[in-house]
Chains A and B, each alone.
Chain A
Amino acid sequence: MTRRDWLPWLLLAAAAALLPWLFYDWGHHRHDGFVVSMLSQMGMMTILALSYNMLLGQAGLFSLCHATFFGFGGYATVHFINAAADDTLPVPMELMPVLAGLAGLALAIVFGAMATKQRATAFAMITLGIGELVATAALMFHHFFGGEGGVTTNRMIDRSLFGLSYASGIQVYYLILAWTLIAAVLMRLQTMTPLGRMANACRDNFERAQFMGYDPRIVRFLQFSLAGFFAGIGGGLYAITYEIVTFDAVASPLSANALLMAYIGGNMVFAGPVLGAVLITLLQSGVSLMSNSWLIYVGVLFIAMVTFAPGGLAGLIMAHGPIFRAGRLPRLFVPYLRLLPPGIAAIGGFVGLVELISFLTIGEAQGRHLVLFGSPVDVASATPWTIAAAMLLLGGAWLRHESRVFARVWQSLTSDLIEARG
């Protein structure tokens, strides 16, 4: 790692630290609550996605129980904070995430010992079972998990290294930001340790790693446990932010979310999951307010990524690197511009159709009126349906044609580069 490699991270951290102040309400002297809580959520999700990528990207392990360790860290933190409040556990708030991480680590060691006996598909199925096991248990046992109501706490315990009370969301946000940075840096450094390198080796060719004298099972186990540790840190921050941890924090939708964030962001680049966490959180808090069916958009985006861009968003960006360095990027400008109109038409048509159909079954029952792209729409008439379908079909066909043109330009550019290199 040279100094240049750290520069984007510093910029990102500075941006994250300044962002709440962009939305500061100077008239009333208060922060925008929505923005601060969304940024806090992004911080936690960044830790979740990055730690998930220690499995998916670094070790090639497709886990479906990552929320288990996140949620367990959260549950444990609630109990730790409660213990700190009645003076049985003298730990300041700033260090709670460490304890949460240790809780996640402990559980990951137990389950990792079972799950990492296998790899690939069998590993995925076993982790699915483990995730369900803990989620089901969380609903049944009241002492630790609190059943359906969850467990609650109060973060204002007056135990702080810096004399902070954590009464306001912005103080919690800076705590989250600090821990997100610490966790991200640690995970980045972990990729450069022998363990991180061996995890990559076992992902790419576990038989050869075995012949070199390494036991891929141990490598998987260590990697899995460490990922559980970092997920636990995220869960601790979750508990501190919301002061309540329920079944949702261990349930399978959150595990699926970790996967979506890591994959859509790009699992072969370290920073990819950060991108995915920011994007999915934005979608979750923005689009879910506007549309009932935001999950279908995420699902389609995910399938499209798996099929056409296995490297995720970060992979797509990185693919432009060689062309950019050769100074040929302007040549892609016109082909990209030509992709834009059919792309917008196809996406608009798809969104229109999805919204029309889902309004018929769900929205109408809620007594709402359908507003598409800023104008009210009459669902009963045939016009919006025809327009949406035509946009999707024609836009799709046009997009297909244009993407072939684009692929030709891309191909000639990259082959030029290869020739130039000799």
Chain B
Amino acid sequence: MQVVVGSLLNGLVYGMLLFMLASGLTLIFSMMGVLNFAHASIYMLGAYFAFETSRWIGFWPALVVAPALCGLLGAAIEVWGLRRVHQNGHIAELLFTFGLVFIIGRSVQMAWGMLPEPYRVPALLDFPLFTLYGLQFPAYRAFMLLISAGMLGAIWLLLKRTRIGLVIQAALTHPGMAAALGHNVPLVFTIVFSGGCLLAGLAGVIGGNYQSTEPGMADSMGPIVFVVVVFGGLGSLAGCFVASLIMGMVSTFAVVIDTSIADLLRPLGVALHGDDLLGEILTVPVARIGPLLPLLMMVLILLFRPRGLMGTRDT
């Protein structure tokens, strides 16, 4: 019971963190058709900015400063970079953000070095919030949940209840018509791109001290965020939410399951040993192949539903 509840809560926290990243990615993608490969790099920058800010003026200002810096950076990338390469087509935009991954990754190593930084949970939140079945749940994780749930609510309100949200939705599906009605579509694009980067930066602030702030964090987070977006369906915010939670749960539950396919077959009278390749695949415990599961799930959903869980369109 302790294991189940603990994994459930941690899966929720991790899933919501994934959603903060994936939602920005999917918003930018469905609006501009640009897949921002540098999204996880912005997440990493958010964590480093937060570390640097919290070293000088504390964690709480960092919660505002770091995402704002990431948002500004996003706006700069959109205005001076993406707009320029837009005329060369979608592939050029993809390549551009792909190049940014290199530059941001190396710049972070240049500025902060190769070792992990001591970016810690603020003292105010560094206590166990409650104990459930003998398991302590840190207050900081509850805080993370609060932030990500607040962000989810804010996005929903912004998109569904405000004028700018209406314009964003219009520009999403009919950019030409929205421009013809007098809306500044390029400005809307900049706002969306910068907003997505701001969300990634915010995820970095709360994710940097939940995981660890090191130069490899973009590379370890990047693929799983893309898997979430593909799994949920390109261009669907709801699918992205469901996929984030599923992936969060799968990743945390996989760590604690110590059975293999062979263990399931054993009651049926099938005895297996890990002597050859097939035997190895069948006898490997789930805990060891944890990182493989989200990727396998992505491959499976592509086989049966190429558009993803709730995807509405092909590209």
Contact = CB atoms under 8 A, between A and B. Distances in A.
Contacts of A234: none
A140 B276 CA distance: 14
A72 interface: no
Chain B contact patch, size range: 35 or more
Contacts of B306: 117-118
B215 to A, nearest CB: 10
Interface string A277-313: 0000000000000000101101110110011001000
Interface string B82-115: 0011001011101110111011011101111110
B280 A121 contact: no
Question: Among the interface residues B85, B303, B315, which one has the most CB atoms of the partner chain A within 10 A?
Answer: B315
Contact of B33 (A121, A136, A299): A121
A126 B306 CA distance: 10
A52 to B, nearest CB: 13
A371 interface: no
A121 B103 contact: no
Contact of B98 (A115, A259, A293, A358): A259
B102 A120 contact: no
Given A129-B230, A136-B292, A121 B315 contact: yes
B229 interface: yes
B43 interface: no
Contacts of A119: 315
Given A130-B299, A298-B102, A361 B84 contact: no
B234 interface: yes
Nearest to A119: B315
A302 B99 contact: yes
Contact of A122 (B102, B234, B277): B234
B168 interface: no
A332 interface: no
Contacts of B94: 62, 121, 124
Interface string A47-75: 00000000010001010000000000000
Contacts, number: 137
A361 B230 contact: no
Interface of A is mostly: helix
Contacts of B98: 256, 259
Contacts of B34: 121
Interface stretch (B65-73, B147-155, B190-198, B283-291): B283-291
Interface of B: 29, 33-35, 81, 84-85, 88, 90-92, 94-96, 98-100, 102-103, 105-107, 109-114, 219, 223, 226-227, 229-230, 234, 276-277, 280-281, 284, 288-289, 291-292, 295-296, 298-299, 302-303, 306, 314-315
Interface of A: 56, 60, 62, 114-115, 117-126, 128-130, 132-133, 136-137, 140-144, 252, 256, 259, 263, 293, 295-296, 298-300, 302-303, 306-307, 310, 354, 357-358, 361-362, 365
Across the A-B interface, the 10 shortest Cβ-Cβ residue pairs? A299-B102, A296-B106, A133-B295, A361-B113, A303-B99, A143-B277, A299-B103, A132-B223, A358-B110, A122-B315
Given A122-B314, A263-B95, A293-B106, 7 more contacts: A118-B315, A125-B234, A129-B227, A144-B277, A302-B99, A303-B99, A307-B96
